[in-house]
Amino acid sequence: MSSVLTFTDPDADVATIRSMSREELTETGRELLRESRKHEARTVLAGAALAERVYREHLAGRSETSVWGSVIEHAEKLGRAEVSLQFGVSRSKAGSWVALADLLEKFPLIRAAYLNGDYSTNRISIMARAAQRGGDIDPDYIEGDDSEMSFEEIVLDYGSRATTDPVLSQQLDAALISMSPDSVTEERDTISELVGDVTITAEVAGHSNLDAVIPAHYGVFLKSQIDTLIDERTCRKDPRRLGPLRVIALGEITGVPGAHLTCDCGLDTCPARVALLTEPADAEDAQACEALLPAPAEAVEPVAEPGVPDPTNPATPTEVPVPFGRALVMPDAPVLTVLIDPDGVLVPRLQGYGPIDPTYATTLADVAKTIHYPESARAAGPLIPQISDRPQAPPADPTGHGSHTVPPPGALTYAPSATLRAEVLANDAWCRYPLCGMPSYLCDLDHWRPFNHTDPEAGGWTALDDLIPLCRADHQRKHLGEWVPTLHTDRRVEWRSRRSGQVIVTYPR
């Protein structure tokens, strides 16, 4: 394999790689990646050890009473700065190496996996931080599970799945909430107090940079408002990128004077324009429409500065009061929705965000719609990823009829009902294709066994047992048939490569 590469003759290695077969590329690439991760893990430990050496040398010879606070901090900074200079990395990168190496001291299993080349530095950092956050969890606490896994082992179990790093973060957050809800509530308060902020700083060329750490439901609300405004005011023919549209939408929603979103397609037939120009039929429509239209000029309050005239700068006749804009609320945007388990076993989820602690879910009850997890999701228990630790559930019925002998209501209709869709989404949080992080609410529901349009009873039925969420791109990929899925009764999906027989498993949550 990679021994066919010279590692000394770049041109030769480029030529060798270009001449490899698909199988050779797969195998060599995988092995090279593992080797590079092994090297990176050792680089991180070497950097951290160098920082530690510099730190200790700097403090050597000092009496114990003189080593405190700012002296220690100074020595730590010296250590990081030396790593930065010697390795040619930023000081913050050097700092993150030191912090990671420190964390890994406490988690030997995670450190071994890192040194073994199993994971990237970013993924290992996510895992080590989660293990640290769950430090106080009593392993026996794990409800409804009789396995003897420590939290560190649970973290490794999650880490080993074919998930993206952000999905892993959310799964570990859910595991923590499930096992130690109070500590996550406390952490949320700490973040609000210490990190919660909205900063707007000058960029270049007439732009500002907006950066904010806000409660999850603020984020979900703002995002859905922006998305809804764009949906209503523009059509698919608008030539602009989505980014600039979001900027104008944010401006209009927060009432920036002059910020107003209209479609740039230039077509008389633009559906978004037609909707705006249509005369409202009755008073109720008129009211709904008013919310969408810019405030009429006469309704805009001019800026009324209480009038102490400044004698040094008398108002000139050319000064025109600038009208304030008006904050806009999109009435048709989806409302905040929280998924809860009345028995308190499953971790609450804020739709459009992910897992939240139960206390947060309770405080959101006044402003959000609360819905219950369906029975099918509750049956699976709080920590779905431990399926791997349980006896393997068999594949779902290959007919696509699941556990049903007669079609349940709606099973013979191609499109799932809203209730069924909600049930699938409550079971499966993300697109079920390996290594996709698309939240399930943005996905298509795919019939695992194809629906038969001419004889619906004979094909896969439109029921939980035959539906999985797949994002649009992966939905198309599935139909190409390179990787063939098998749905299991515990909602694991095994994706088998038709070429190599290799299997990748994905889990519902």
Stretch 50-89 residues interacting with Zn ion (CB under 5 A): none
Smallest gap from residue 429 Cβ to Zn ion (A): 12
471 binds Zn ion per the rule CB under 5 A = yes
Q: Is 380 left (phi over 0), alpha (psi -120 to 50) or beta?
A: alpha
347 binds Zn ion per the rule CB under 5 A = no
Stretch 123-142 residues interacting with Zn ion (CB under 5 A): none
Helix-, strand-, coil-residue percentages of the chain, each rounded to 5: 50, 10, 40
| Element containing residue 486 per DSSP (H, E) | strand 483-487
412 binds Zn ion per the rule CB under 5 A = no
Assign 303 to helix, strand or coil.
coil
Q: Do 121 and 99 touch, CB atoms closer than 8 A? A: no
What is the DSSP code string of 152-202?
Answer: HHHHHHHHTSS--HHHHHHHHHHHHHHH-HHHHHHHHHHHHHHT-EEEEEE
Residue type, 472: R
Q: Do 221 and 207 touch, CB atoms closer than 8 A? A: no
Site size for Zn ion, by CB under 5 A?
10
**Which residues neighbour 492 within 8 Å (Cβ) at sequence distance 6 or greater?**
387, 393, 505, 506, 507, 508
Stretch 267-306 residues interacting with Zn ion (CB under 5 A): 270
**Which residue bears the tokens 């649970």?**
154
Alpha carbons 292 and 230: distance in angstroms, whole number? 11
433 binds Zn ion per the rule CB under 5 A = yes
By CB under 5 A, which span of 4-12, 203-211, 430-438, 481-489 interacts with Zn ion? 430-438
Contact track, Zn ion, 5-44, x by CB under 5 A: ----------------------------------------
- Find the binder of Zn ion among 75, 265, 328, 493 (CB under 5 A): 265
Stretch 368-397 residues interacting with Zn ion (CB under 5 A): none
Smallest gap from residue 437 Cβ to Zn ion (A): 8
Smallest gap from residue 499 Cβ to Zn ion (A): 20
By CB under 5 A, which span of 23-31, 66-74, 277-285, 473-481 interacts with Zn ion? 473-481
Assign 216 to helix, strand or coil.
helix
263 binds Zn ion per the rule CB under 5 A = yes
- Residue 25 or 442 having the CB closest to Zn ion: 442
- Residue 44 or 471 having the CB closest to Zn ion: 471
Stretch 214-243 residues interacting with Zn ion (CB under 5 A): 235
By CB under 5 A, which span of 204-212, 319-327, 342-350, 424-432 interacts with Zn ion? 424-432
Alpha carbons 416 and 413: distance in angstroms, whole number? 7
- Residue 260 or 326 having the CB closest to Zn ion: 260
Q: Which residues bind Zn ion (CB under 5 A)?
A: 235, 263, 265, 270, 431, 433, 436, 438, 471, 474
